[in-house]
Structure 1
């Protein structure tokens, strides 16, 4: 497997988890991790309903099947998002309250934790890449100098992706802290 592609996937996965963090405005991706028990199977919320943001403080959920309305409401209520649903019998509306300063700081810590998980994944990719290089050197496919050069390349690649992840983290923190 191409090491650069694996590292790109790790950064992309971290970015997707960043999108699940609340900023001060409504964003349908907040609900990406929600799955609903629907006819005995865990089903992602976005497969059961259309998610829209009619304004900056509201997420609207329009189920494709009206009978799933209560199940969707229950799944959101039991999630760790701390959001309250308003069900009018046809659609569910979630009002996104403005964030307090303490909550913003807490969300920044969560973002930093997600970034650290991304860095761990990148370091694991680096370790796997270096192990493959060392094995090739041991098998006689590479000279010692070639092996060292390739290991340096792997380290530079890792540093580049970690820097990219740090940049995305600082952007996310700025977005969270913006009032």
Structure 2
């Protein structure tokens, strides 16, 4: 495998990782600690990720329980969750914050399905851009005489196969998330 293909494989795996992280933040009607990954709390003047300030547990399929390491930050965490626009109202008892995930309406499921498809399409665009860059690099090497025409054609075919596999993986991830979303 050439360095161009290794670079492409690395970029594609990073794209899949980003896609997975993005899909995890989409609320699918059941409690998932990844919903809070993007929440940052103002802690002593520093924007700090929520997961660095508290334990996040899932006591049942519809509830997230946030237990701060420092009980003084409960109100700050609650404020940060409200500002994150998750569509979930936190309730606290002074020590723990509970987020009860409401069941999704059919209309909201359809909106989220569109959002999931857009996230998937963005990942596909990133993969296509990576493929284009790799193809351009191979063509430059061929033009410069560093690669024979046959070797260049083989590498271009391998790049296309890598791209097709990655596109299939993206489609599968998006389909799995949509399936999870549509379960009632």
Bucket of the pairwise TM-score, normalised by the shorter protein: over 0.9
User: What does residue range 10-21 of structure 1 map to in structure 2 within 5 Å?
Assistant: 10-21=15-26
Partner Cα separation in structure 2 for residue 147 and residue 52 of structure 1: 52
Q: 1:111 aligns with which of 85, 107, 116?
A: 116
1:51 maps to: 56
Segments of 4+ in structure 1 off by > 4 A?
A: none
Which among 143, 146, 152 is matched to residue 147 of structure 1?
A: 152
Which residues of 2 match residues 79-98 of structure 1 at below 5 A? 79-98=84-103
Deviation at 1:5, TM superposition (A): 2.0
Task: Provide the residue aligned with 1:121 in structure 2.
Answer: 126
User: Where does 1:16-55 land on structure 2 (aligned, <5 Å)?
Assistant: 16-55=21-60
CA distance in 2, matches of 1:43, 1:31: 12
Unmatched runs of 5 consecutive residues or more in structure 1: none
User: d(CA) in 2 for partners of 1:80 and 1:118?
Assistant: 24
The RMSD of aligned alpha carbons is 1.1
**Higher alpha-carbon deviation: 105-114 or 143-152:** 143-152
Shift of 1:33: 1.0
Q: Provide the TM-score with structure 1 as the length reference.
A: 0.96
Q: Secondary structure at the match of 1:142?
A: coil
Residue 83 of structure 1 aligns to a residue in which SS?
coil
The match for 2:14 among 9, 22, 25 is 9
Deviations 1:105-128 (A, max 9, x none): 111111111111111111121112
DSSP 3-state at the match of 2:147 = coil
Give the TM-score normalised by the residue count of structure 2: 0.93
Q: Could you tell me how far 1:43 is from its partner in structure 2?
A: 0.9
CA distance in 1, matches of 2:166, 2:85: 30
Match of 1:136 among 113, 135, 141: 141
Which of 166, 169, 177 is the aligned partner of 1:164?
169
Alignment length, in residue pairs?
Answer: 179
